[in-house]
Amino acid sequence: ITILESYEKKDLESKINKLKVALKWYQDDKEHAFEAKAIDENIKLLQAQSQLEKDLNLPLIGLSLSETIHKCITSNNSGKANKLKSDFKIPDKRFWWIKLKALVEMRDWDELDKL
């Protein structure tokens, strides 16, 4: 089960490939439907992050999903943040927490007021 060694891989390409191997393993096993889904999401996150890195010129890979959203907001890319939210089906509650924190950090009181 410890194919999660992929985290040791430095470059993105081999990281994703490793994860795909792990995904196959889990998909073959009905017991581990949750794990399979989680790894699948992880791959999607890495892909999204690499795309965002190109677009925003920010280091994102290695961050968690919430942290990625946080970064998007603090760099004035709320649109991207909203897209991540819907792509990964993030519950509203958590999304607002992240947004709140990010806006406070930026001292963007106007935006905060609008919420």
Partner 1 sequence: MIGEYHLDFIPFEDDLLSLELDYTFKELYLDGDYTSIYYAARALMKLQTLFGLFPRVLGKGDCAKHLADMLLRMRREVAVDDPSSTLVVSQNIDSLIIIDRSVDLITPLCTQLTYEGLIDEVFSIRASHVEVDSSIVGPAPQKSAVGAPTSTSTTTTTTPSQPPPQPQAKKKKIALNSGDKLFAQLRDMNFAVVGSVLNRVAKRINDDYEGRHQAKTVAQIREFINKLGGLQSEHQSLRTHTGIAEEIMGVTVTPEFNKSLEVQQNLVAGVDVNTQNDCIEEMINRQVPLVQVLRLLSLQSLVNGGLKQKNFEFFKKEILQTYGFEHLQTLLNLEKLNMFVKQVSTRNPYANIRKSLRLIVDEVEENNPHDISYVYSGYAPLSVRLLQCVVTKGDNGIRNNGWKGYEDVLRMLPGKTFDEVQRKEDSVIRPKRLIQGQQPRVTLIFFLGGCTYTEISAIRFLAQQDDGQREFVIATTQITNGNSLLNSIMQKTEHPGVTAGTL
Q: Rule CB under 8 A: which residues touch partner 1? A: 1-2, 4, 7, 34-35, 38-39, 41-42, 45, 62-67, 70, 88, 90-91, 93-94, 97-98, 101-102, 105
Distance spanning both ends of the chain, measured CA to CA: 44
Q: Which is nearer to partner 1, 55 or 94 (CB)?
A: 94
52 CB-contact burial (10 Å; exposed 0-12 / middle 13-18 / buried 19+)? buried
CB of 55 to partner 1, least distance (A): 19
Minimum CB separation of residue 111 from partner 1 in Å reads 17
The count of other CB atoms within 10 Å of the CB of residue 106 is 14
